[in-house]
Copies of this chain bind each other. A is one copy, B any other.
Amino acid sequence: MNIKEIAKTSGVSVATVSRVLNHPETVAPKTREKVLAIINELGYKPNWFARGLNFNKTDTIGLLIPSIQNPAYMEVAEGVEYIANSKGYTTLLCITEEDVEKERRYIQTLIDRRIDGIILVSSLLEDSDIQEIKKQNTAEVLIGENKGNSKIPIVRIDCFGAAHKAVKHLLNCGHRKIAMVYGSTPIMENNLKIKGYKLALKEAGFPINEDYLVEDENTIEGGYIAARKLLGLGDDRPDAIFATSDLLAFGVMDAIRDSNLSIAEDVAVMGFDNIRVSNLMVPKLTTVDKPLYRMGISGARLLLDVIESEDGIAMSEIILQAKLKIRKSCGHKERIKEIF
């Protein structure tokens, strides 16, 4: 079923059929109706490739997400999907499994397929890769920190400040031996969180204990393993653990329970992300509320702006607010009184 057949059965030329589809106002109402009727009747759908060959616009964007296991990324994806969909774009969701090579391959596939733009979430790409995409003439937006300091539109939060605030809160709760469990990805964000952690301790006059900085895979299991290490430190065991993601924090909580210790009482836990299940934990997880959905929304809007603006956008950086979400897992303010 192609445009020729429609033309023939409607008794018009292919050009007219094409016009009915693309510029209906330029064709006489009677002809238009007739052609439309035939199109409907025969269930004709223009060939996507032939169309693309002429337009070179696909109304498709690519969304690269590090992991499907982490609900945090899924919340971002939800925001992107929502905007893209409401503006008539289709989203190609690609899971990079925190693997740079896979990320590169996906990007190449996407560009080959002439997608209109790409959103990279917490990308592991080098600056050169990011420049390369730009060179290939594909619109591009970043969500979350990235290695490059390229002039690419970006949406993010202040990871450094948020981590600093989080650790300060643990200090305010009376905790003194504060450890940190950080994921091996996303690298840039975690580095900033480490800096925030160190600064908070320094400001409070505490030394940095390198044994208190444990890295593992950014999963529940990773958090578990890291926490077991910390809890095995005997008398030096920390009384609070700051995790760089809620997923890690879940693993930390599990490890605390398995060590027959009490969460909050014996060891406080602070997460990062505020994914939906984090307040179903027992005790409810205190965490940094990262506006994941809104980051997706903003990122998608930004990308569509870039795509639809003729001359491109000079520069754009959106920094969203991350607030502390204080719940039960980090111990109570009351404890401060016990200590002082």
Q: Tell me, in angstroms, the Cα distance from A153 to B281 when the chains sit together.
A: 39
Q: Tell me, in angstroms, the Cα distance from A282 to B328 when the chains sit together.
A: 14
B112 near A277 (CB under 8 angstroms)?
A: no
Interface-facing stretch out of A19-27, A70-78, A319-327: A70-78
Q: Which of A35-61 contact B (CB under 8 A)?
A: 45-53, 56
Asked if A81 is at the interface (CB within 8 A of a chain B CB), the reply is: yes
From the candidates B47, B68, B71, B281, name the one contacting A81 in the complex (CB within 8 A): B68
A77 near B69 (CB under 8 angstroms)?
A: no
Q: Tell me, in angstroms, the Cα distance from A292 to B329 when the chains sit together.
A: 31
Q: Tell me, in angstroms, the Cα distance from A51 to B56 when the chains sit together.
A: 13
B45 near A112 (CB under 8 angstroms)?
A: yes
Residues of B within 8 Å of A53, CB to CB, are 47, 49-50, 53
From the candidates B71, B90, B112, name the one contacting A92 in the complex (CB within 8 A): B90
Q: Tell me, in angstroms, the Cα distance from A277 to B52 when the chains sit together.
A: 43
Asked if A253 is at the interface (CB within 8 A of a chain B CB), the reply is: yes
Residues of B within 8 Å of A172, CB to CB, are none
Interface string of A270-285 (1 = CB under 8 A from B): 0000001100111000
Q: Which of A211-239 contact B (CB under 8 A)?
A: 220
B69 near A81 (CB under 8 angstroms)?
A: no
Q: Tell me, in angstroms, the Cα distance from A93 to B74 when the chains sit together.
A: 12
B95 near A81 (CB under 8 angstroms)?
A: yes
B280 near A254 (CB under 8 angstroms)?
A: yes
A220 near B48 (CB under 8 angstroms)?
A: no
From the candidates B49, B52, B253, B280, name the one contacting A220 in the complex (CB within 8 A): B280
Residues of B within 8 Å of A254, CB to CB, are 280
B45 near A111 (CB under 8 angstroms)?
A: yes
A112 near B48 (CB under 8 angstroms)?
A: yes
Nearest CB in chain B: distance from A97 CB, A: 9
Provide a sorted-by-A list of 14 A–B residue pairs whose CB atoms are within 8 angstroms. A48-B52, A48-B114, A49-B49, A49-B50, A49-B52, A49-B56, A68-B74, A69-B74, A90-B94, A220-B277, A250-B277, A257-B282, A281-B281, A281-B282
